[in-house]
């Protein structure tokens, strides 16, 4: 079966490599013969083994009826959305690693796939090489998922790991991540939580059957985290992680948010270090299930794309419909309806006042703690109540960080 690749970047070139190098293994295991026949990129790659397959003209792929599967590995919404829609309408299966595309236009593309009786698969869009989307949709079959959460951004997790393990400052750890090629020159999407946000939107859409758009979802990054917070967390037997999560409320509503959290060392999520990712699914039948692995990297992500390609090829006649409905009004509740405990750090506060406001709190300590510095963990309460109580408390507030449920 002939395969085309849109975008010859890190992932796209990996896909070409995996399909070509593992062709025999794939044939043996899955009984499908895959061949990359065209690759679209605006750049030239004269030295690549795949140079003869390169084209700058999208129509050469779209109008080529011998191509039945298209891998979109360009990233970004434009022109990816246009290209992908056209391929689906032409009756080609599309496999993508593009989380932004799925998070913002997934509903439309899934509908388009259904209308044209082809697959639109996106295992590689969340968690790189970790199988998440497929097991999740399988878990869902006999299970009601109540919560899905994860460490979904490798770059920010690498930075936090360096702060926790090596005592590096945020700025130094970010610099190291950039030097290692994990973080981009403009690291905003990674460190401010927007990349994790796109991924949790995809997972929430899948788990709760309604498209959850990233717009308007409460998102905090890790740039505000300091080594003082790391030290206080340690005294709480916890580490700070960037946790993306979506949770069913009692009514037919969910909350979705991305924020740093204190994660207890007894949690499996606390052990997810460096650039690794993990996704935790809390089902009514299965309890907690966690999937862990490399969340990024050329070959890991490419192999997830190729897994989807093989699925399309091996089951050409069977449709994989990840059905979810379009956005529903008020389905995503305000984050203020969420319930959680909080870590609060500040200065010049009176313990009696704190205890009056929050009833029972747990004070934390760290080495070299200034006399007037105070840090404590509140009981679990509604975010809105916490905000009110905190605003009424006399304290020179430095920071607040949520306590993870996971």
| Separation of alpha carbons 190 and 16, rounded Å | 27
226-246: b (≥16 Cβ within 10 Å) or e:
eebbbbbbbebebbbbbbbbb
Asked about 199 being catalytic, the answer comes back as yes
| Separation of alpha carbons 256 and 200, rounded Å | 8
Tell whether residue 71 is a contact of a copy of itself (CB under 8 A).
no
Site string for a copy of itself, 80-119 (x = CB under 8 A): ----------------------------------------
**Shortest Å distance, C-beta 200 to a copy of itself:** 19
Which of these segments, 20-28, 74-82, 249-257, 347-355, binds a copy of itself (CB under 8 A)? Answer: 20-28
**Shortest Å distance, C-beta 288 to a copy of itself:** 6
Bond into 79 cis (ω within 30): yes
Tell whether residue 303 is a contact of a copy of itself (CB under 8 A).
yes
Give whichever of 77 and 290 is closer to a copy of itself, judged by the CB atom: 290
Helix (H) or strand (E) holding 36: strand 35-40
Q: Single out the catalytic residue among 92, 99, 162, 199.
A: 199
- Nearest alpha carbon to residue 333 among 388, 257, 260: 257
Site string for a copy of itself, 141-160 (x = CB under 8 A): xxxx----------------
Q: Pick from 59, 184, 215, 288: which binds a copy of itself (CB under 8 A)? A: 288
Directed axis angle between helix 99-115 and helix 80-89, to 10°? Answer: 20
Give whichever of 194 and 276 is closer to a copy of itself, judged by the CB atom: 276
- Contact between 206 and 125 under an 8 Å Cβ cutoff? The reply is no
Site string for a copy of itself, 155-194 (x = CB under 8 A): ----------------------------------------
- Nearest alpha carbon to residue 94 among 62, 122, 114, 74: 122
**Shortest Å distance, C-beta 300 to a copy of itself:** 5
The pair of three-digit structure tokens given for residue 187, joined into one six-digit string: 């690291």
Tell whether residue 26 is a contact of a copy of itself (CB under 8 A).
yes
Q: Which of residues 304-333 bind a copy of itself (CB under 8 A)?
A: 304, 306-307, 309-311, 315, 317-318
Tell whether residue 131 is a contact of a copy of itself (CB under 8 A).
yes
* Partner residues linked to 277 by β-bridges: 293
Say whether 247 sits in a helix, a strand or coil: strand
**Shortest Å distance, C-beta 294 to a copy of itself:** 5
Spatial neighbors of 405 by CB under 8 A, at least 6 apart, are 147, 149, 245, 340
- Nearest alpha carbon to residue 302 among 26, 76, 51, 42: 26
- DSSP 8-state symbol, 312: H
Give whichever of 46 and 287 is closer to a copy of itself, judged by the CB atom: 287
Give whichever of 272 and 341 is closer to a copy of itself, judged by the CB atom: 272
Tell whether residue 287 is a contact of a copy of itself (CB under 8 A).
yes
Q: Burial-class residue 42 by CB neighbours within 10 Å (0-12, 13-18, 19+).
A: exposed
Q: Pick from 20, 29, 169, 365: which binds a copy of itself (CB under 8 A)? A: 29
As a 3-state breakdown, the chain gives helix, strand, coil percent values, each rounded to 5, of 40, 25, 35
- Contact between 270 and 252 under an 8 Å Cβ cutoff? The reply is no
Active site residue ranges:
199
Site residues, a copy of itself (CB under 8 A): 18, 22, 25-26, 29-30, 129-131, 134-135, 138-144, 209, 266-268, 270-273, 283-294, 297, 299-300, 302-304, 306-307, 309-311, 315, 317-318
């Amino acid at each position: 079966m002939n395969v085309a690749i849109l975008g010859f970047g890190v992932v796209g070139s990996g896909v070409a490599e995996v399909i070509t190098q593992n062709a025999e293994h794939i044939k043996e295991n899955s009984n499908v013969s895959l061949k990359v026949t065209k690759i679209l990129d605006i750049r030239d790659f004269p030295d690549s083994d795949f140079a003869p397959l390169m084209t700058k003209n999208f129509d050469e792929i779209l109008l080529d009826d011998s191509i039945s599967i298209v891998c979109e590995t360009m990233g970004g919404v434009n022109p990816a959305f246009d290209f992908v829609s056209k391929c689906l309408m032409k009756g080609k299966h599309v496999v993508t690693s593009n989380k932004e595309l799925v998070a913002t236009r997934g509903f439309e593309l899934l509908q388009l796939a259904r209308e044209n009786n082809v697959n639109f698969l996106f295992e590689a869009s969340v968690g790189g090489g970790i199988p998440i989307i497929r097991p999740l949709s399988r878990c869902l079959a006999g299970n009601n998922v109540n919560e899905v959460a994860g460490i979904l951004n490798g770059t920010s997790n690498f930075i936090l790991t360096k702060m926790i393990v090596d005592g590096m400052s945020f700025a130094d750890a970010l610099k190291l991540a950039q030097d290692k090629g994990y973080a981009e020159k403009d690291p905003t999407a990674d460190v401010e939580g927007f990349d994790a946000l796109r991924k949790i939107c995809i997972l929430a859409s899948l788990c709760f059957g309604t498209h959850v758009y990233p717009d308007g979802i409460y998102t905090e990054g890790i740039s505000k985290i300091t080594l003082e917070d790391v030290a206080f967390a340690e005294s709480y037997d916890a580490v700070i992680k960037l946790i993306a999560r979506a949770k069913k409320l009692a009514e037919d509503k969910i909350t979705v948010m991305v924020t740093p959290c204190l994660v207890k060392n007894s949690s499996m999520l606390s052990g997810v270090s460096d650039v690794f990712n993990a996704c935790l699914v809390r089902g009514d039948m299965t309890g907690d299930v966690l999937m862990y692995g490399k969340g990024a990297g050329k070959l890991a992500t490419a192999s997830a794309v190729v897994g989807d390609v093989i699925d399309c090829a091996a089951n050409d006649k069977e449709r994989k419909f990840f059905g979810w409905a379009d956005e529903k009004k008020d389905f995503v509740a305000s984050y203020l309806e969420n319930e959680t405990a909080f870590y609060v750090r500040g200065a010049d506060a009176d313990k009696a006042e704190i205890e009056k406001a929050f009833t029972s709190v747990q004070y934390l300590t760290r080495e070299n703690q200034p006399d007037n510095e105070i840090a404590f963990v509140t009981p679990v309460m509604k975010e809105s109540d916490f905000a009110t109580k905190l605003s009424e408390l006399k304290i020179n507030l430095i920071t607040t960080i949520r306590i993870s449920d996971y």
